Chains A and B, each alone.
Chain A
Amino acid sequence: MAEWKAFYHNEDEEEEQEEGEQAEGDYKITGRDSLVFLIDASKEMFIKGEDGQPSNFDMTMQVVRSVYTSKIISSHRDLVALVFYGTEQSKNPRNSFKHVYVYHDLDEPGAKRVQDVDALREAKGAKLAAETMGSGETSLGDALWCCSNLYSDIKLRLSHKRLMIFTCRDEPHGGDSTKDRQARTKASDLKETGVVIDLMHLMKPGGFDVSIFFRDIVSPPEDESELALQLEPCQKMEDLKKRVRAKEQKKRAMARLKLCLGEDLKVAVGIYANAVTTRKPGAIKLYRETNEPVRSKTRTFHTQTGSLLLPSDIKKAQVYGKKKIVMERDEVDAIKKFDDPGLILIGFKPMESLKLHHRVRPSLFLYPEEDQVKGSACLFSALLTKCSERDVFALCRCISRRNLPPRFVALVPQEEEVDEGKVQTIPPGFNVIFLPYADDIRTLDTPQFPSASQTQVDKMKEIVSKLRFKYRSDAFENPVIQQHFRNLEALALDMMAPEDTDDLIMPKVDQIDDRLGPLVQEFKDLVYPSYYNPDSKPAAKRKTANTEGAAEKKPKLEVSEDELKAHVQNGTLGKLTVPVLKEACKQFGVRTTGTKKQELIDALVARLG
């Protein structure tokens, strides 16, 4: 057990290291991402849906909130702004635009902002919006211009700029062609500076016609296909959330590599992470007096001379077989280098030979980089088509970064899938599955048990069918992280207590019991004999088999009074073990509060000495 525990204990640390290994890539140099929510605040947005459905405005606010909180958790350095247009009141940096209300300018979202957005939700939110902003004339052109000012006022380097328009009006200016034109010009200005404009169009009676106006406003889809424009307007909160989510995160390649099929046949590909374990972020060290963050500086110096050591004054060493083996620092790195980064094709295998459990890391995703090597997309596409058609995967040797040793990966083809709303649910490309080496597979003694009979299996099938649900990978929030952030939120906002978190990964025992009803007992009757209790301590520890051994092992706990007194006199109580001492305390009615050895000894000495 000890080993496992020790191993597990280290796991966090280990994984952290690895995280570093995986996640760095291109990330660090590129600057901040930014996202502007440009939201229609016209009267139409506040109309309640049928059957008490939330209004479009309410829905939007919920989505904005969820983006805020998720940004705080997973990418707190991104900048987000919240701007309303078509308002009665105006509020913007130089107050040069009418009917544009900058609720939040571009900044990192924080607790206060989440609270602000919360205030705009539901009925009270609608009221608040009406009081502070009201609904008035619309000029999308002004709104866009105002947003472009937000961008240019930012002193930070922005790597990705996105603007999302939420509206349920397909003709915001009611046919005023000057305003339409103005908006178009402004939109193209924005796009020219690299801002991607998305439309999150919401349901409106009679349908939302993108082609009337918004087609010229939004950025063309990446693949130049017409698909994106035919999107249905969002009706449901979930759809909207999904759609926003899909756009909100900027996809970044962890690495750009060449997939080498053979000599002189190299395709440029980008590697992306589909899922990255989100961890509780590390603590920041603060100065007690001012609560300002402190910086840490680490220095290496010579113990004797006290002089600072340069990297060249240092070597690395390990001890094996009682011998200290010393290497230069760059040798330590050089050992890890086998080849330059890249993916080398080894061959193909049928999918069935990829074992389910042969994987050692979360998988990654591969997509061609046409702008690095022209022709990549075509070859990639052909490879993808053929691999999935023939149900094979490509086996490759992969070095993802400089000075990393190779690993073998399976490139598993994945065809594109879209949902009813024509939103892509699964992108086309290869999943990269990291395969284990011989060292990574542990040999287990597989215990053998009798197999269950068909009746038993059938009963279990009934149970399984009763507890069927539709699994969605995005349905489970991490209770640890959620709790952590709720706590912080509570502290940041001076709330009395943190908001309750739902532990979504807790089984709903009552519901399960309800659903199963008598099935559980029936199953138990089939598999367990009546005397058997699976909840009791495992019977395996039965001592009967080797009573002798067990008895021998059990230390004698009793010590005679004489012996004990002798120990006390000679001051050799320390020789006895803690359990013996405890037993002795009991024996002599010595009451001890402590459990430490010295405390027990002291108590005994006090009594007998």
Chain B
Amino acid sequence: MAGSKSALVLCMDVGFSMSNSAPGEEPPFELAKKIVQKFVQRQVFAETKDEVALVLFGTDSTENPLHQDDQYQHITIYRHLDVAGFDLLEEIETQVRPESQHADWLDALVVSMDLLRTETKGKKFDRLNIVFLTDLNSPASADNLDAMIDNLKKDGITLQFFLPFPVKDHDKEGGGGGDEDGTGPGHPGTGKGLSKEQKNSLDIMKHIMLNLDEDEGLEEIYTFRNAIEQLNMFKRIERRPMAWPCQMTIGSSLSIRIVGYKAVTEEKLKKIWFTVDAQTNQKDDVKRETVYCLDDDNETEVQKDDIIQGFRYGSDIVPFSKVDQDQMKYKHDGKCFAVLGFAKQSTVRKHLFMGNQVLKVFAGRDDEHAGVALSAVIRALDELKMVAIVRYAYDRRCNPQIGAAFPCIKEDYQCLMYFQMPFTEDLRQFTFPSLENNKKFTPSDTQLSAVDSLIDSMMLVEEDENGEKKDLFKPHHIPNPAFQRHFQCLHHRGVSPDTPLPPIEPWLKAALELPEVISKRCQVPLEEMKKNFPLTEVEKKKKLKTSAQIFGKDADEPDAKKVKGDEEEEEEYNLADIAEGSVTSVGSVAPARDFCTLIRKKSLPFGEVCQQLTHRIEELLKTKNTQYYMKSITCIQAFREQSVKLGEADLYNSYLQSLKRSIPNRKLEVFWDLLVQDALTLISQDEVEGSTVSKSEANQFLVAEEKKEETAAPPPAEDPGDVDDLLDMM
């Protein structure tokens, strides 16, 4: 069921005049063949149910049911009506070639009509169409023209002509694929002027077309070049818009019958890649299996039946069965388009539109009253510059949304346009530093005017001499390049399986680039911009993070695993590691650690590092607080350890001695006690050869002080307690 289906006859002239071309130009035959190929290609990849037949005329042989004596000669039904497959593409590629006869194109038309009539019998087609590709350069006898036109009309057959030259006529509008590029390079064939036959045929053709459709008949005549441009694109994905009938409600008693359609939505390719075995190309040879296991050392496997589902609630994981979930989940009444209220258009920020579709809402089908009611809503909103804020639910199974319905008034219709708006949970309210208030970034007047002229030169919408706006670049007229490329590659691989993929087609590349006019025009202003805005790439500095990676686990784990692996495991960095990378001096946060790092790194001379450390210790000691004392102790400990390790006792010893002298004066007795507890005494000769302190002296160092403390008050006269002095000694 479902879907409209067409029957198409591609009727292509392969006669000898089709191979003629001006030097440097592609012969019409090649162009026509390309069109046919592209066309079939589109059919194949769009997977339409349309059926296609191919009739060639001007062939050396003759093969058609109407052929009798010298009637209907040189016309070959190459392929009867059928769904287009890859085989047809391959055949066209290899077998359709220019031949050397001439055939009356009207005869070919009759053959095609006959084909359509006989072969569509008993099948249902919504559209019967004949596509003609010819240079019209054969004598045509217009004998039964009127009867033919009648038959065309009777059978409801439509015609399309593709010619190597444009048909000059009263100004045709651009729509529907007519010649938009009047300014472009001349069409091949036009330069030579038309032959008598062509002129004659043209008249006949126009006659037919205008008879079939008085108003728009001539719009169904295309040039090869235009057609190629258009057909280059693989068939645009067309989804039949499906109606969504509903009621727009305002309060409990006002409802308007409406119907919604998706108007804009990001289309995706329907097909997905399946996996095949590389050797056999068979899908069935590959099997994927998912197993579950506990997160323990043995990776104990768990049977599927033993698995229940749960959800995370912050740090908790809550087991929550499907049944319970369905029972408790948010339920609603289904389909709705209910107005919550109305708001000013300006309060609805357009950059916050969510979702990936735009819905157009019209009044219910064939319901004039609804039409009037909705029109009243649309126009009221438009005049007040307001929008309706609505609750929208597609159906019971879909989550409801909040959205804004904008009025949209066009010449020939009115509708509401519905956009989904964010929920509170969706918003990320980031603040960014102001650009204006920052003097460093404020552009000068010259800079601003450079930007000005750049904008001038790169304006894509211009007024032409008639004051009409012309847009040089419309993205919404470009086919999705991803699809085009996808099909191009599939097509290529399909017809020539063993060759590498082709490059992106030039037309597609060109379609994505800025228009030539613009790229020429902007050169000078761009130079000016370059002069005015010096831009310098900043050497990638290793940030804290990155250095953490270097010092952290990354060093011994391969990169790939890092990204994929469970974050939990990977995150066992601590602050210390992170900071380590950037240590350049002894900081106040963890002086002992910094000190050790610096010593290890040997980036600074030992003496200097020690001086930095003692400086920190002195700072710490200024605050009489156990916490700070403890920190100082760790510093001294580190100082001692490192000194012993490096065999440099002097600096440590002299510092400790002077420290000891200053204790009473600075009322640091409590601190000294801690030092004694930890037995942080001088470094003796036993430990470091160069030390001038003997072991007993070292032992005595702390003890003596204790005694002294016990026995007598400190001698106040001595005053070595000044920090500066202490530091000077270093």
Tell me the complex Cα distance, A458–B573, Å. Answer: 67
A-B contact pairs, 5 of them (CB 8 A): A29-B545, A350-B461, A437-B480, A443-B238, A447-B366
Chain A contacts for B308, CB-based, 8 A: 285-288, 291
Q: Are B434 and A456 in contact (CB under 8 A)?
A: no
A357-B417 in contact given A14-B268, A382-B533, A383-B451 (Cβ < 8 Å): yes
| Complex A-B, nearest 9 residue pairs according to Cβ-Cβ distance, in ascending order | A449-B371, A223-B433, A405-B482, A4-B242, A471-B343, A382-B443, A408-B475, A110-B315, A452-B376
Chain B contacts for A423, CB-based, 8 A: 431
Interface locus among A119-127, A164-172, A325-333, A593-601? A325-333
Q: Are B443 and A527 in contact (CB under 8 A)?
A: no
Chain B contacts for A521, CB-based, 8 A: 253
Residues 309-337 of chain A, each 1 if its beta carbon lies under 8 Å from chain B, else 0: 10011111110111111110001101110
Q: Main secondary structure on chain B at its contact with chain A?
A: mixed
- The contact of A316 among B276, B340, B501, by CB within 8 Å, is B276
A470 at the interface (CB under 8 A from B): yes
A245 at the interface (CB under 8 A from B): yes
Q: Are A362 and B314 in contact (CB under 8 A)?
A: no
Chain A contacts for B473, CB-based, 8 A: 346-347, 395
Q: For A77, A365, A485, A488, which residue has the most chain B Cβ atoms within 10 angstroms?
A: A488
B320 at the interface (CB under 8 A from A): yes
A299 at the interface (CB under 8 A from B): yes
Q: How far is the CB of A21 from chain B (nearest CB, A)?
A: 11
Chain B contacts for A489, CB-based, 8 A: 313
Tell me the complex Cα distance, A328–B686, Å. Answer: 71
Tell me the complex Cα distance, A155–B575, Å. Answer: 8
Chain B contacts for A176, CB-based, 8 A: none
Interface locus among B208-216, B346-354, B673-681? B346-354
A357-B475 in contact given A481-B425, A528-B369 (Cβ < 8 Å): no
Tell me the complex Cα distance, A324–B490, Å. Answer: 10
Interface locus among B53-61, B165-173, B386-394? B386-394
Chain A contacts for B264, CB-based, 8 A: 357-360, 436, 440-442
B164 at the interface (CB under 8 A from A): no
Q: Are A446 and B274 in contact (CB under 8 A)?
A: no
Chain B contacts for A483, CB-based, 8 A: 328-330
Sample of 6 more A-B contacts, CB < 8 Å, known A263-B526, A362-B352:
A440-B265, A449-B374, A457-B379, A459-B376, A506-B338, A520-B250
Residues 285-326 of chain B, each 1 if its beta carbon lies under 8 Å from chain A, else 0: 111111111110001001000111111111111111000010
Chain A contacts for B729, CB-based, 8 A: none
A606 at the interface (CB under 8 A from B): no
Q: How far is the CB of B524 from chain A (nearest CB, A)?
A: 11
Q: How far is the CB of B396 from chain A (nearest CB, A)?
A: 11
A20 at the interface (CB under 8 A from B): no
Q: Which residue of B lies closest to A322 (CB)?
A: B85
- The contact of A314 among B277, B452, B570, by CB within 8 Å, is B277
- The contact of B294 among A154, A267, A287, by CB within 8 Å, is A287
Q: How far is the CB of B86 from chain A (nearest CB, A)?
A: 4
Q: Are B372 and A527 in contact (CB under 8 A)?
A: yes
Tell me the complex Cα distance, A309–B277, Å. Answer: 9
Residues 428-452 of chain A, each 1 if its beta carbon lies under 8 Å from chain B, else 0: 1101011111111111111111111
Q: Are B431 and A295 in contact (CB under 8 A)?
A: no
Chain B contacts for A142, CB-based, 8 A: 627
Q: Name B670-723 residues within 8 Å CB distance of A.
A: none
Tell me the complex Cα distance, A83–B308, Å. Answer: 37
Tell me the complex Cα distance, A313–B282, Å. Answer: 12
- The contact of A296 among B242, B290, B365, B482, by CB within 8 Å, is B290
Tell me the complex Cα distance, A431–B430, Å. Answer: 13
A291-B293 in contact given A450-B375, A463-B250, A464-B381 (Cβ < 8 Å): no
Q: Are B460 and A395 in contact (CB under 8 A)?
A: yes
Interface locus among B131-139, B153-161, B397-405? B397-405
Tell me the complex Cα distance, A479–B425, Å. Answer: 10
A294 at the interface (CB under 8 A from B): yes
B613 at the interface (CB under 8 A from A): no
Residues 202-213 of chain A, each 1 if its beta carbon lies under 8 Å from chain B, else 0: 000000000000
Q: Name B424-447 residues within 8 Å CB distance of A.
A: 424-438, 440-443, 447
A570 at the interface (CB under 8 A from B): no
Q: Are A111 and B314 in contact (CB under 8 A)?
A: yes
Tell me the complex Cα distance, A406–B562, Å. Answer: 29
Q: How far is the CB of B441 from chain A (nearest CB, A)?
A: 4
B356 at the interface (CB under 8 A from A): yes
Q: Which residue of A lies closest to B289 (CB)?
A: A299
Residues 254-283 of chain B, each 1 if its beta carbon lies under 8 Å from chain A, else 0: 111101011111111001111111110101
Residues 73-93 of chain B, each 1 if its beta carbon lies under 8 Å from chain A, else 0: 000000000001111110000
A157 at the interface (CB under 8 A from B): yes
Q: Are B489 and A491 in contact (CB under 8 A)?
A: no
Interface locus among B6-14, B191-199, B407-415, B637-645? B407-415
Tell me the complex Cα distance, A384–B236, Å. Answer: 35
Q: Are B241 and A444 in contact (CB under 8 A)?
A: yes
B15 at the interface (CB under 8 A from A): no
Chain B contacts for A438, CB-based, 8 A: 233, 236, 476-480
Residues 513-530 of chain A, each 1 if its beta carbon lies under 8 Å from chain B, else 0: 100100011011011110
- The contact of B589 among A193, A325, A392, by CB within 8 Å, is A193
B97 at the interface (CB under 8 A from A): no
